[in-house]
Amino acid sequence: MKQEKIVLNLEELIMVEEPYNILQDLEVQDDGSIRATVVNEYIDRDEGGPMGGGECGRHLAILGSIVLAHAYNHKKRHYYLAVHALLSRKSDQVFAAEELLLTAKPTLMEKRKGTVYGELLSADNEVIFTAEVEYLVMSPAVFTKFYGKYQVDTPVHNGVSPYINRRHLSDITLNGERATGEFGIVQASECEGHFRNYPALPVALIGNLFGELGFALFKHNVPGFKRIISPRTSIRAYRLAFTGEHVRFVGRISKYISDDTIQVTAEAKVGDEIVSNVEFELRGVNP
């Protein structure tokens, strides 16, 4: 297949920058999809690799926003807010891999919303995850209209990526099949690259934190497995959680699917407002 090697100035296309965006080697394919590589920089100690579900969602959502920006042929930067994602793990095999492949293509394009289909692949092109991601597309003017009160004057520049050294949930409390956890107040330093002057906790990181709560529930109620994988995830984001806001998590086991698999339902809240919710499966494996 003919490939067009392109150099994308991401600052002119999307609002997500380094260190949150670490995609490399972008290539446009004949069918309008874009292919990229990514170095796996984070995985939870309880989750089976080669990449965790939340981390996969991070990279495919970013690639999806680039795909939409390229397809729309926008001349100025826009915000592509991932509002819903369906993530499916296609392989139960657990292994380690530093670099992985991604591909994504648009499946729906309207004036203010779009949908992308993406895949995460191993070095030998085995599909590990698939994802369908829905976006709201906002110009800077529209985004500022909604979120202008959260603007900060000076962007943060960390010495070490906050996406490698992450803050975990604290005060996880287990009560049978229910759990709560505290993330606390979002710091601007934890949101570098997402977004400039409007630092917000990435939805993919919220997904990682949902995972932490779910792993605690799984180990408490279904012991005996070395690692946990997530065969299916459906996550929705209702709004962004910005710097200075206090985020907490509540979750429960909503179904026992089999002896090694449960379904978890959880919510992330700022005060009494739900900013994101999720329904995902967790399966124990002994690699």
Neighbouring residues of 104: CB distance < 8 A, sequence distance ≥ 6: 33, 34, 60, 63, 64, 66, 67, 116, 117, 118, 119
In tens, the pLDDT along 41-55 reads 999 999 999 999 999
Q: What percent of the chain has pLDDT over 70?
A: 96
Give the per-residue pLDDT at 98.
87
Give the per-residue pLDDT at 274.
98
pLDDT surpassing 90 at residue 148: yes
**11-20, 95-104, 249-258, 276-285: which has the minimum mean pLDDT?**
11-20
Give the per-residue pLDDT at 6.
47
- Structure tokens that stand for 245 in this block: 């806001």
Q: What angle do CA 53, 196, 146 make, to 5 degrees?
A: 90
Give the per-residue pLDDT at 9.
63
**Strand 99-109 relative to strand 232-237, pairing:** unpaired
**143 close to 79: Cβ distance less than 8 angstroms:** yes
Give the confidence band of 154 by pLDDT, cuts at 50, 70, 90.
confident
Counting Cβ atoms within 10 Å, is residue 200 exposed (0-12), middle (13-18) or buried (19+)?
buried
Give the residue from 108, 115, 113 showing the smallest Cα distance to 131. Answer: 115
**243 close to 200: Cβ distance less than 8 angstroms:** yes
Give CA–CA dist 276/196, Å, rounded: 22
In tens, the pLDDT along 170-196 reads 999 999 999 999 999 999 999 999 998
Give the confidence band of 10 by pLDDT, cuts at 50, 70, 90.
low
pLDDT surpassing 80 at residue 2: no
Give CA–CA dist 135/61, Å, rounded: 9
**248 close to 182: Cβ distance less than 8 angstroms:** yes
In tens, the pLDDT along 79-133 reads 999 999 999 999 999 999 989 999 999 999 998 999 999 999 999 999 999 999 9
Mean pLDDT, the chain, integer: 93
Give the per-residue pLDDT at 153.
86
pLDDT surpassing 90 at residue 216: yes
- Whether this model's pTM surpasses 0.85: yes
| Mean pLDDT, residues 222-228 taken together | 97
Give the per-residue pLDDT at 221.
98
Give CA–CA dist 8/242, Å, rounded: 28
